[in-house]
Structure 1
Amino acid sequence: MKKTLVISDRFPLPEKFGSDIRTMNLARYFASLGSVDIAYLSDLRSGPVQAQGAGEDLEKDDIFSGKYCLQKLEYPVSLRGRFGISVRGFPYPVREYSKASMEKLFALIEFGGYDYVLVRYLRNTAGFFGLSQVAKRKVIIDIDDVLTQSLYDTLFTPTNNALRMLFRTINKVLLAYYQTRCVTVFGACLVCSEKDKSDLWGEQASESIFVVPNTLGMRGSGELPMESGFSRRHVLLFIGALHYQPNVSGLLWFLESVYPLYRNVYPDAGLLVVGRCPLPEVIEVCARTKGVELHPDVPDVIRYYKDCRAVIVPLLEGSGTRLKVLEAALLDRPIISTRKGVEGLDVVSGVHFLEFDDGPSFCEAYRTLSDETTYDALVTRAENIVRQEYSHGALSTSMGEVVTYVDTRRASSLAFSSRSHAPAG
């Protein structure tokens, strides 16, 4: 029996959000190999806060044998402080753990008897380069969102300050270097798509980088009865974390540049905006835009799928693969998306989804859904490819390759360590 430690931002139950779904998918894989513990940040909305009201469902889904709360140090407010921490080896958004949490993590990783340590996100690896060589080999970093690509600028508020702009440029270089070190030093690194792997490392990608696709969590085709959305009125659905800058930017762009034309063509049109922690600008624009309903922090999104005719994914930046696309495909709703919104997924415009890049192309794409045969065909083909390419079986196959690789490298490290410490003669 194997033993795994998962290190995460949030306690991922109940799994309402994309980050939690991926964490639990990976944790369930490791649970199939043996026991799983979790260490998560107590300075975020996690653990006990999320668990309130979850009741029996949380208890049923909770696969973690041990739970450890961690804390991180506050990131410096001043530009000088931020520059200083970056050149010390912690480029933003990598944040140092508190001394007590770092000591706890080191003790767990070095002496806790874990075969694998799964770290969700690069930003949670601060200090890990100080682990022993053998311990480093059992660390698996799930890079997930690749911050050094189009997501990087979304980490910061806009500025015209020359010094801040210079710091951000230097920090990006340091973050890219930090990312490369993680790939070369630790046991393995995971990304969500072949495109992320290619964009980051090209044809010379390290053998320690593995593509592990996103899959849906506890929801699957057939588990939630859905009627066809074809006869629904012209209501669209946008789902996503509303404090996550790519979602916010994409939604605001859609409301300003696309939605007005859509409303002109379909006067009874509406848009349901569903997500957690909406930023003030999201609340404001939804409140003043006719036909738009904002539903923040809802306990379950299924009713909103039932009320819509199509799902929109108006993303202009980001990386990885979109769980919202997979969910829509399994809940019998056609997807209208920008190219960036489906990037990393093996889908074809006009076959599995409808592509748009401005108001006219959106209206043209939506108009094709007036034909019921086209509507149903899009839904069916999208569901089929998700079940084939983004199933739990696909994740298990990918992770099987990861753990085999990590086991082999770790065995080599142990053998080398034994030879190095063997007495002479």
Structure 2
Amino acid sequence: MKKVLFFMPDNPLKKNAGNRTRALSMLSYFKSRNFEIDFVSEYFTGKWNEADIKAFEQAGLASNTYVIKKKPSKKNLLYYLLFYKLPNFFYQNKGWFFPLQFPELVTLRFKRAFKKILKNNDYDYIFINYASWATLVEHNHLTKRSIKVIDTHDFITAQLQKKNNIGKSFKEEIRRISLFDIALAISVEEQYVFSQFCKNRVVLAPMMLDRPENIHATSDKSFDLIYVASDNVHNQKAAKWFFKDVYPLLPTTVQICVIGQINQHLSIKAPNIVTVNFAEDLSIYYQNAKVALCPMLTGTGTKIKVVEALSYGLPIVCNTRGIDGLINKTDNGCLVSDDPIEFGNNIMKLLTDESEYKKQAENALAAFSINYEKEHCYKNLDKLFLK
């Protein structure tokens, strides 16, 4: 039986963001292939509590679960300052005279705890999520016997381009990804960029989801539009644009369901808008909607909500950023426009033109089946992990 050490700073069972859904899908893959999994996470980043840890252990996704705190308690302030804050300042800011311009989230305390796990176990694979945590394997002789894999999730330099020096940030991101034997890219764009500069093997590993067992007929659906969004700056901009520039153009009879933490930033209230702050099971809502929305103006990487909608055969109305990361950019079930009027027209076209709706729904299902259906993606991962 092969053994993998799987690090993810967030709690994958909190399925309220695409990155957690992604990590859960990778854990499920290893579980399905009978890997022995040791799971490592960071207490504060993942907002863990004892109930969360117990629930994760009971989920049976890992043989051993380690949720480590990256910093000690502040009860003994002198100890905290002398033995954590000061040493960690110099560790995380090795180049503090010449800043790296790239996030370093690994603390000295956390890396020591991570090494302790490695010292007591032998792993075939060490799987790290995010380049910002890549230094967990750097200068670590305990990782030499293992194949090191990083799931990049996103192009971090592109996310931080307004804050950091792009050249320095990109150079550091490529250096960190190159610390690994295999780099997984979630989108074709990121695979192309990373493969041009990284010295290791860069593999496309798109988002993978189950095919829904039953898809309701259009006539049975309660909502015309479904909009799923977490709370981040890109979704905040997108929601503001949609409800300010597009929503007023739509008939008040169009029923909209908005799901996710984005609702915390919406001030609009109307009889045709239903808000759901958190849904344990999104399938209920996807099954009861006709069209999915993805009004993204900024951001990088594959939009998980787009892949989710495709799996249910839902046509999608989105901006150009909405199709970022998709393997096929056309005939994929998406109607794309950055113009508010055309965006609204695309919505109404799908809601009023039965033949257009059927065509785009068929395209959506085909795009999902070819590129993102779980068992299809699993076979590609087998070439990496079961050789």
Length-normalised TM-score, structure 1: 0.76
Distance 1:186 1:368 in 2: 47
Report SS of the residue matched to 1:354: strand
Equivalent pair of 1:283/1:294 in contact (CA under 8 Å): no
Aligned to 1:364: 345
What corresponds to 1:118 in structure 2? 127
How far did 1:85 drift? 2.5
More deviation, 58-67/381-390: 58-67
The equivalent position to 2:70 in structure 1, one of 58, 72, 76, is: 72
Cα distance between partner residues in 1 of 2:144 and 2:308: 37
Task: Call closer, same or farther: CA 1:139–1:351 in 2, change over 3 Å.
Answer: closer
Shift of 1:267: 2.5
Using a 3 Å threshold, how does the CA distance of structure 1 residues 233 and 28 change in structure 2: closer, same or farther?
closer
Q: 2:48 aligns with which of 41, 46, 49?
A: 46
1:296 equivalent in alignment to 2:277: yes
Show the counterpart of 1:152.
Answer: 160
* Aligned equivalent of 2:23: 23
Matched, 1:183 2:154: no
Matches within 5 A, 1:195-206: 195-202=189-196, 206=199
Which of 321, 327, 338 in structure 1 is aligned with 2:302? Answer: 321
Give SS of 1:309's match.
Answer: strand
Change (3 A) 1:361 1:200: farther
Question: For 1:137 and 1:178, how far apart are their aligned partners in 2?
Answer: 23
Given candidates 369, 372, 375, the residue that maps to 1:387 is: 369
Q: Tell whether the 8 Å contact from 2:126 to 2:149 is kept in structure 1 after alignment.
A: yes
Kept in 1: contact 2:118–2:143 (CA 8 A): no
Q: Percent identity?
A: 19
Asked if 1 retains the 8 angstrom alpha-carbon contact of 2:19 and 2:153, the reply is: no
Aligned-pair CA distance for 1:129? 1.4
Match of 1:87 in 2: 95
Could you report, residue by residue, the CA deviation over 1:91-110 in whole angstroms, capped at 9, with x for unpaired residues? 553213251x3212012234
Counterpart of 2:84 in structure 1 is: none
The secondary structure found in structure 2 opposite 1:125 is helix
Separation (CA, whole Å) in 1 of partners of 2:297 and 2:40: 33
Give runs of aligned pairs for residues 242-257 of structure 1, distance below 5 A.
243-257=231-245
Question: Counterpart of 1:96 in 2: which secondary structure?
Answer: coil
Superposition map of 1:123-272 within 5 A:
123-132=132-141, 134-135=143-144, 138-149=147-158, 151-152=159-160, 168-170=163-165, 172-202=166-196, 206-216=199-209, 219-222=210-213, 225-229=214-218, 235-241=224-230, 243-262=231-250, 266-272=251-257
- For residues 316 and 247 of structure 2, the distance between their equivalents in structure 1, rounded to whole angstroms, comes to 16
Deviation at 1:349, TM superposition (A): 4.2
Could you tell me whether the CA contact under 8 Å between 1:86 and 1:92 is conserved in 2? no
Residue 189 of structure 1 aligns to a residue whose secondary structure is: strand
Distance 1:177 1:350, change over 3 A: closer
* Distance change >3 Å, CA 229–CA 152, structure 1 → 2: farther
Match of 1:419 in 2: none
Q: Measure how far apart 1:316 and its partner are.
A: 1.9
Task: Give the distance between the partners of 1:315 and 1:125, measured in 2 at CA.
Answer: 28
> CA 1:20–1:317 in 2, change beyond 3 Å: closer, same or farther?
same
Q: 1:91 to 1:109 in 2, by over 3 A?
A: farther
Conserved? CA contact 2:124–2:147, under 8 Å: yes
Q: Secondary structure at the match of 2:216?
A: coil
Per the TM alignment, residue 334 of structure 1 is displaced from its structure 2 partner at its CA by: 1.6
Aligned CA distance change for structure 1 residues 383 and 119 (closer, same or farther; 3 Å) = same
2:175–2:198 Cα contact (<8 Å) kept? no
- Does the Cα contact within 8 Å between 1:190 and 1:209 map onto a contact in 2? yes
Report the Cα distance in structure 2 between the residues aligned to 1:187 and 1:20, rounded to whole angstroms.
23
How far apart in 2 are the matches of 1:46 and 1:169?
Answer: 30
Distance of aligned partners of 1:317 and 1:5 in 2 relative to their CA distance in 1, 3 Å threshold: same
What corresponds to 1:62 in structure 2?
Answer: 60
Tell me the amino acid that sits aligned with residue 243 of structure 2.
L
Q: Which residue of 2 aligns with 1:5?
A: 5
Q: Is the Cα contact below 8 Å between 2:126 and 2:146 reproduced in 1? A: no
Answer whether contact 1:140 1:190 (CA < 8 A) is retained: yes
* TM-superposed deviation, 1:371: 2.0
Q: CA 1:231/1:15 → structure 2, altered by over 3 Å: closer, same or farther?
A: closer
Closer, same or farther: CA 175–348 of 1 in aligned 2, 3 Å: closer
CA distance in 1, matches of 2:168, 2:69: 24
Q: CA deviation at 1:40?
A: 0.8
Amino acid at match of 2:41: Y
- Name the CA shift for 1:50/1:384 in 2 (closer, same or farther; >3 Å): farther
Deviation at 1:352, TM superposition (A): 2.0
On the 8 A contact 1:97/1:126 being kept in 2, the answer is no
Is residue 228–residue 260 contact of structure 2 (8 Å, CA) maintained in 1?
yes
Instruction: Give, in angstroms, the shift of residue 59 of structure 1.
Output: 7.1
* Kept after mapping to 1: 8 A contact 2:225/2:290: yes
Aligned-pair CA distance for 1:374 = 2.1
DSSP 3-state at the match of 2:93: helix
Question: 1:354 is matched by which residue type in structure 2?
Answer: L
| Separation in 1, partners of 2:187, 2:62 | 27
Output the amino acid matched with 2:69. Q
Gap change, CA 1:24 and 1:233, over 3 Å in 2: closer
Post-superposition shift, 1:310?
Answer: 0.9
Q: CA deviation at 1:366?
A: 2.1
Q: Superposition RMSD on alpha carbons, in Å?
A: 3.2
Match of 1:305 in 2: 286
Indicate if the aligned counterparts of 2:101 and 2:164 stay in contact, CA closer than 8 A.
no
Structure 2 gaps of 5+ residues are 73-88
Structure number with greater CO (CA < 8 Å, separation at least 6) is 1
Q: Distance in 2 between matches of 1:299 and 1:6?
A: 24
Alpha-carbon spacing, 1:300–1:221, altered in 2? closer, same or farther (3 Å):
closer
1:46 CA drift (Å): 3.3
How many matched pairs?
368
